[in-house]
C-alpha cells in the first residue's frame, strides 16, 4: 500500500484551462511549447481530470519558453542544457492567487553527444518541468494562503 504525503491545496471546484503556450527559443525539429502543453494536459488528465476544461476555466495556465543555454561543466566530461520557461497562473475567480514564475530546468548530457537537442534530452526537460509546474499548482501551500 502506498500512502501519499501530499495533500492538494488546489480548490477541487476550480477548473483549469490550458491557455497559450509559446516559445522565444528555436530548438531544432521540435516545438517545445507544443510538447510541454500536451504533456501538462495529459498529466492533469491523469491526476485531476475533473479540473481540466477546454475554455472558460477558473484558472488559465500560460507558458513562454524564454531561452536556453548549453553549459560546459568544468573538469567533467559532461555538459548541461538549461531551459527557462515563464509560467503564468491566472486565477480569474480569485485574482490575488494568480502568480507568475520562471522555472529553470536542466539536464546533463555527455560532451560527446552529437545532438544536444535529442528527443531523449528534451523529453526529460519537459517531464521535469511538467512535474514541477503540476506540484506548484496543486500542492504548493503558499499558492493558496491568500484570501484564507
Q: Choose from 35-49, 63-77, 129-143 the range with maximum mean pLDDT.
A: 35-49
How many whole angstroms separate alpha carbon 110 and alpha carbon 130?
24
Q: List for the chain the helix, strand, coil content (%; round to 5).
A: 30, 35, 35
pTM of the model: 0.87
Sign of the alpha-carbon dihedral angle for 137, 106, 23, 50: negative
Predicted pLDDT of residue 6:
55
Q: Is the pLDDT of residue 66 over 50?
A: yes
Q: The C-alpha cell of 12 is what?
A: 477541487
pLDDT, tens digit, 9 for 90 and up, residues 96-139:
999 999 999 999 988 777 788 889 999 999 999 999 999 999 98
Q: Which of 11-15, 41-45, 52-56 has the lowest mean pLDDT?
A: 11-15
Q: The C-alpha cell of 95 is what?
A: 485574482
How many whole angstroms separate alpha carbon 143 and alpha carbon 146?
7
Q: How far is CA 44 from CA 61, 102, 126, in A?
A: 12, 20, 14
How many whole angstroms separate alpha carbon 44 and alpha carbon 37?
11
pLDDT band at 140 (very low <50, low <70, confident <90, very high): confident
Amino acid at each position: 500500500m502506498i500512502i501519499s504525503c501530499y495533500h492538494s491545496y488546489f480548490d477541487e471546484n476550480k477548473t483549469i484551462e490550458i491557455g497559450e503556450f509559446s516559445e522565444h527559443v528555436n530548438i531544432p525539429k521540435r516545438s517545445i511549447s507544443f510538447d510541454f502543453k500536451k504533456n501538462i494536459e495529459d498529466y492533469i488528465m491523469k491526476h485531476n481530470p475533473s479540473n481540466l476544461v477546454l475554455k472558460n476555466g477558473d484558472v488559465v495556465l500560460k507558458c513562454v519558453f524564454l531561452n536556453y543555454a548549453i553549459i560546459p561543466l568544468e573538469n567533467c566530461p559532461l555538459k548541461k542544457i538549461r531551459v527557462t520557461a515563464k509560467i503564468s497562473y491566472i486565477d480569474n475567480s480569485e485574482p490575488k492567487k494568480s502568480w507568475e514564475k520562471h522555472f529553470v530546468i536542466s539536464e546533463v548530457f555527455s560532451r560527446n553527444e552529437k545532438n544536444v537537442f535529442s528527443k531523449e534530452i528534451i523529453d526529460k526537460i519537459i517531464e521535469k518541468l511538467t512535474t514541477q509546474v503540476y506540484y506548484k499548482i496543486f500542492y504548493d501551500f503558499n499558492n493558496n494562503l491568500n484570501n484564507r
